[in-house]
Structures are given as C-alpha cells and as structure tokens.
Amino acid sequence: MNKGKFFRLLVSHCILIVMAVIIIYPLLWTVGASFNPGNSLISTTMIPQNPTLDHYRELFAGSESLQYVQWYLNSLKISLFTMLGSVICVSFTAYAFSRFRFKGRQNALTLFLLLQMIPQFSALIALFVLAQILGMMNSHWLLILLYIGGLIPLNTYLMKGYMDSIPMDLDESAKIDGASNTRIFLQIIMPLSKPMIAVVAMTGFTGPLGDFILASTILRSPEYYTLPIGLYNLVNDVMGASFTTFAAGAILISIPIAIIFLLLQKNFVSGLTAGGTKG
C-alpha cells in the first residue's frame, strides 16, 4: 500500500470515528440518564452509579396527568397510516411520471420541487385556519393527510428516478402478452421497486414520530397528543422538569423505529446493491 492511499484511508477512518462519536455519545448519555435516579440530567458518569427503573414505571403508571401509553398509541397510529398512505400515493405518482408522457408533466415535476423547498412551518397559520374551518382540530386523520401530502414531492422524485432505471422493455413485453398498465404496475414495477418502497416507508414512519411543530398546531387536547407533544409538556408542565423521565420516554420511541428498520433492512441492502449494478 502506497503512502497516498494509506493517508486517505487514515483520514477517512478518523472522520468516520469522529462522526460516530458525535452520533452515539448523546444517545448513550440519554440511555444512562433514563436509569439515573432523580430528575436531573447532570451526572459525573455516563453509566449511573445507582441505576433504577423508576422512570420507566412512572411512564406506565396510568395517572390522569401522565398519559404516556395513550400518546404512544396515538403516535403509532399516525405513523403507520402515514407510512401506508405515503407508499400508495408516492408509488402511483412516481409510476405516472416515470412511464407516461402527458401535458403539464414537466411543470408538475417542477412544482413538486418548488413545494419541497418551502418549509412546512411557513404554512402553519393556513393549516390552523383550515383545520378550524373543517372542524378537524384534534383530528389524527387530518394530521395523517398533511404528513402524506408533505412526503409526496421529494419521495416522488426519488421513486421516479428509481423506476426510470427499470427497463421499458419489461413493460413492452408485458403489453405484448396482454397485460394492462395496472397489472404491469402491480406485478412488475412494484416488486422491482421494493428498495425504494422501503425508503419511502421508513421516512413515512419516522417523520410523524419526530414531528412537534405541525402536531402541536393541530392537536390541543392531552388525550390526542403524540409523543413529542406529550413529552414536551411532561418536562414543562406536568412533572416539574423531570428530565430523566423525559429521557426514558424518548428512549422508548426508538423501539418501533428499530423494528421497522430491521424489517426493511434486507430491502435497504438490496437497494444499495441494485444501485451499484444498474446502468
């Protein structure tokens, strides 16, 4: 190995180690804090000297002021339906843009790109007024529709690019055999697009779990809260800045995300392999 290659590898590994420490350190500190007695995150050691499960028990105590289980179920409901809706909508729109040529196609793609550049919080007032006019304040279904709508532009671009790499010869061969566009979409394009479907599903699931701004605009009653809103109020209002209980609640959010990632991991890996072999 020559010196130039060795130096590049050394620099690359150093950068990766630094990035890993930056990412992992706050996570490990949060895990340690969730087992730390008391209410403060301040500790001299990352590993608690007297670890306790009291904060986790407190979350599931079922008291009137602490509805963590309800918030958890609300978040899972919204995330699952958002994931399902985004996969369906993005798949149809990406297929249309990839396989058909119609009037206004290019303008629609440009509009999608422009919509993706607009920050979500810039439309909060309009969304709040819309929710009041429709009488859908505290509506999980309105929140799901808004999340799905926000995921369509960028994910459509991603999936369209992937579908463009699938040879048109497959479509033409299927049409010669008498297959309709619907059958081609369901039996050929969708199975071959599993890696991108996994990406869209993952973003659709994780997005609502971490959103605070939009959810706090639509949801106003504690029984309708999602986890980010509930945990925020847990620290500020309910329990007098109990940051260790907040840490325990935040750690539990990662469990469904880890499960979804493990279920979709095979498709992520195949997506990377396909992306490296397709011309």
Residues 6+ apart with CB under 8 A from 277: none
End-to-end CA distance of the chain: give it in Å, rounded.
31
**pTM score of the predicted model:** 0.81
According to the model, what pLDDT value does residue 272 have? 47
Six-digit token string for 143: 């929140």
- Alpha-carbon distance of 223 to 79, in angstroms, equals 17
pLDDT in tens, 92-143: 999 988 888 888 888 888 887 787 777 777 778 888 888 888 888 888 999 9
Average pLDDT, the chain: 81
Structural domains for the chain: 3-54 (no CATH), 64-277 (1.10.3720.10)
List the structure tokens of 187: 């039996």
Q: Average pLDDT, stretch 6-34?
A: 84
| pLDDT of amino acid 81 | 95
pLDDT tens digit sequence for 180-211? 888 888 888 888 888 888 888 988 898 888 88
User: What average pLDDT score do residues 69-77 get?
Assistant: 90
Which class for 232: exposed (0-12), middle (13-18), buried (19 or more C-beta within 10 A)?
A: middle
pLDDT at 276 over 70: no
pLDDT tens per residue across span 229-258: 888 877 776 555 667 777 888 888 888 888
- 207, 149 contact by CB (below 8 A): no
Q: Report the amino acid identity of residue 123.
A: A
Q: Evaluate whether 200 touches 275 at the Cβ level (below 8 Å).
A: no
Neighbours of 166 (CB within 10 A): 17
Name which of 97, 101, 95, 88 is nearest 181 in CA terms: 95
Task: Indicate if the alpha-carbon torsion angle 94, 198, 267, 194 is positive or negative.
Answer: negative
